[in-house]
Amino acid sequence: GESVGLHLPTLSVQEGDNSIINCAYSNSASDYFIWYKQESGKGPQFIIDIRSNMDKRQGQRVTVLLNKTVKHLSLQIAATQPGDSAVYFCAENRAGGGNKLTFGTGTQLKVEL
Amino acid sequence: DAGVIQSPRHEVTEMGQEVTLRCKPISGHNSLFWYRQTMMRGLELLIYFNNNVPIDDSGMPEDRFSAKMPNASFSTLKIQPSEPRDSAVYFCASSLDGVNTEAFFGQGTRLTVV
C-alpha cells in the first residue's frame, strides 16, 4: 500500500500573538529537555533547555514549562513574529542514556500576517 | 567557530553505489551524533560517539550502514550499497562532554538514491 508520512500538528497564530507549543514525553526517568527550531532546509537549532529539577525557565521571548507529574513540556513564544515560522521539536535525554537525545515528531508553527 | 560542518550538502546517487557523508564537529566537543530525518519517521538517532568511540549504534538500520570517527575532528557515515529507501536528510550533531548538554546540528546532507 501507499506509505503515509508523519502528520505534523500545525499551530497557526497571528503575528504579535503568543504561541504555545506542547509536547508529551514518555520516559519518567528523563532528566533533561530541549526545544529545537528547524527552518526549511536547515538543521535543528537550539532554543532553550530545562533540567528536571526546574519547572520553568525563561529566555528571550521564550519560556519553557515542565510538568513532571503528567510528563508534559511546553514552549511559549511571546509576540510571535514571521521569523518564528518553523517546525519545533522537543527532545529528551533519558537518564542513563549518556548525551543521547530522543526527539518528538515536531509541531509546525505558521505565523499569519 | 563555524559550527558543525557537513559535506556534501546534496548527494544524488544510483542504487547500489557507495555513499560517504562527512562531518566535522565543533572543536572541543567530545560527543558526535548521526541522525536521519524522513517524512515517515521524523528524526532518528543512528549512532553516537563519545571521545571517538562508538557508544550506541542501535539506531543503525542495517549492515549496509557504517560510521567511523578516526579522530576528534572528523566522522563519516557510509552506506554501501545504497538503496532508494535510504533517501533522507542526514544530520550530524556534536556536543560537549558531560551530562545534559545541548547538541549543535550541522546543515545536513540531503541524499537521494535513484
Question: Which of A2, A99, A105 to mutate: most B Cβ within 10 Å?
Answer: A99
pLDDT at B18 (0 to 100): 98
To which residue does cell 526546574 refer? A54
Quick count: other Cβ atoms within 10 Å of Cβ A1? 3
Place of cell 529566555: A59
Percent of chain A with pLDDT over 90: 73
The C-alpha angle A93, A70, A25, rounded to 5 degrees, equals 30
**Chain B nearest CA to A94, separation (Å):** 10
Higher pLDDT, B78 or A101: B78
**Yes or no, beta carbons of B103 and A45 under 8 Å apart:** no
Residue A90 has pLDDT above 90, yes or no: yes
Phi first, then psi, for residue B85 (nearest 5°) are -70, -5
Measured between beta carbons, the chain B residues lying within 8 angstroms of A101 are: 33, 45, 103
Q: What is the pLDDT of residue A3?
A: 41
Distance from CA of A20 to the nearest CA of B (A): 21
pLDDT digit string (tens) for B7-65? 999 999 999 999 999 999 999 999 999 999 998 888 999 999 999 999 989 999 889 99
Residue A14 predicted with pLDDT over 60: yes
What confidence category does residue A1 fall into, taking pLDDT thresholds of 50, 70 and 90? very low
- For residue B98, which residues of chain A lie inside 8 Å, CB to CB? 99
End-to-end alpha carbon distance in chain A: 39
